């Protein structure tokens, strides 16, 4: 009858453990000792570093440091003033004229929701007007259809009051807490096919400007004010105003704007500028579904 006997491998392993018994005990002892010394040593190091830097820490706490100059901080972060360029007088007929001046908002993060201004030209002072200026926008402030027995040759734009508002998304929320005004810009309104028709041409024989405007934004607007300015070289010689009412997203509208004023100088350039305040929530038309109901 055969009995199971240990294999040669098992015998070799058992022999190795027996012959290295003392060495194994020493190794286990040093591993255990090292495991104990590491946290103890780290604690001693932290204790020494704490007292070594305690003096510096107390000195830092005791010293108030350099105080913040809030005046300099406010100056660096306040809105830059509006740049005002020269005003121009545009004679439109006997005792009649328009006034125009370009301004520039230097601030990319500041909206001017309300600017109050008037024009002063010699002894003539216009009525007071209100407008807005978008962040980083250049725009023309105008006063049309002015009358005076003595038409001035020069004029000055007088800013009465300017209100600045930081253009932060949290300040411009609709009823669904969605920011408006930040996803639309003037370039979303494409002006094309601008054509100046000089006086004498049929059917009206009056000077006019034809153009198209397309709303490439995703929004519908109740009103899109438009300024049309004629230039002879670098000087404005004509200004007209119109409004695109209920301009829908993706819609293209044709315009033909007639001048009843005298345009005798040569027109070298025509500028058509959509002039819409994208931060005015009341000018956004409500979204509608296919059957015309509000979404």
CB 90 within 8 A of CB 238: yes
34 vs 246, higher pLDDT: 246
Q: Does residue 229 form part of some domain?
A: yes
Q: Are 132 and 209 within one domain?
A: no
Q: Are 93 and 161 within one domain?
A: yes
Containing structural domain, residue 158 = 80-167
Q: What is the pLDDT of residues 188-213, one digit of tens each?
A: 999 999 999 998 877 778 999 999 99
Does pLDDT of 27 surpass 90? no
Measured N-to-C along each axis, helices 8-19 and 21-62 cross at an angle, to the nearest 10 degrees, of: 60
Q: Does residue 31 form part of some domain?
A: no
Looking at residue 290, its pLDDT comes to 43
Q: Are 93 and 126 within one domain?
A: yes
Q: What is the pLDDT of residues 131-147, one digit of tens each?
A: 999 999 999 999 999 99
Count of domains for the chain: 2
Q: Are 161 and 248 within one domain?
A: no
Looking at residue 38, its pLDDT comes to 78
| DSSP class of 65 | -
Structure tokens at 204: 């009206």
Q: What is the pLDDT of residues 46-77, one digit of tens each?
A: 777 767 776 666 665 565 556 655 556 556 67
Residue 10: count of CB within 10 angstroms of its CB = 10
Residue 216 sits in a domain whose CATH number is 2.60.40
Q: What is the pLDDT of residues 113-123, one digit of tens each?
A: 999 999 999 88
Q: Are 236 and 268 within one domain?
A: yes
Quote the percentage of the chain above a pLDDT of 90: 52
Q: What is the pLDDT of residues 228-269, one digit of tens each?
A: 999 999 999 999 999 999 999 999 999 999 998 878 889 999
Q: Does residue 190 form part of some domain?
A: yes
Does pLDDT of 286 surpass 70? yes
Looking at residue 223, its pLDDT comes to 96
105 contact partners, CB below 8 Å, separation of at least 6 = 82, 112, 133, 134, 135, 136, 137, 138
Q: Are 144 and 200 within one domain?
A: no
Q: Does residue 33 form part of some domain?
A: no
Does pLDDT of 20 surpass 80? no
Listed in order, strand segments (DSSP E) in 43-188 are 83-93, 96-104, 110-121, 124-125, 129-133, 138-147, 156-166
Q: Are 88 and 163 within one domain?
A: yes
């Amino acid at each position: 009858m055969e009995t199971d006997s240990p294999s040669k491998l098992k015998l070799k392993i058992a022999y190795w453990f027996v012959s290295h018994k003392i060495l194994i005990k020493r190794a286990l002892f040093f591993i255990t000792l090292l495991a104990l010394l590491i946290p103890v040593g780290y604690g001693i190091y932290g204790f020494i570093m704490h007292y070594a830097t305690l003096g510096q820490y107390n000195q830092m706490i005791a010293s108030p440091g350099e105080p913040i100059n809030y005046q300099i901080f406010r100056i660096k972060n306040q809105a830059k003033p509006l740049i005002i360029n020269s005003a121009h007088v545009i004679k439109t007929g006997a005792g009649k004229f328009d006034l125009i001046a370009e301004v520039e908002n230097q601030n990319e993060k500041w909206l001017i929701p309300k600017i109050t201004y008037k024009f002063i030209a010699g002894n003539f002072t216009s009525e007071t007007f209100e407008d807005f200026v978008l962040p980083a926008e250049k725009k023309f402030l105008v006063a049309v259809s002015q009358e005076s027995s003595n038409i001035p040759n020069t004029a000055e734009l007088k800013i009465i009051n300017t209100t600045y508002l930081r253009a932060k998304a949290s300040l411009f929320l609709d009823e669904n807490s969605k920011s408006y005004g930040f996803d639309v810009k003037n370039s979303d309104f494409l002006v094309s096919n601008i054509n100046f028709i000089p006086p004498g041409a049929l059917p009206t024989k009056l000077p006019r400007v034809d153009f198209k405007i397309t709303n490439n934004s995703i929004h519908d607007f109740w009103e899109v004010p438009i300024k049309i300015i004629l230039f002879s070289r670098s000087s404005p010689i004509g200004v007209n105003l119109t409004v695109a009412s209920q301009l829908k997203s993706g819609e293209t509208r044709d315009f033909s704007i007639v001048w009843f004023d005298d345009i005798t100088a040569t027109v070298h350039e025509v500028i058509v500028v959509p002039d819409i305040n994208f931060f005015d929530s009341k000018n956004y038309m409500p979204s509608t579904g296919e059957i015309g109901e509000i979404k």
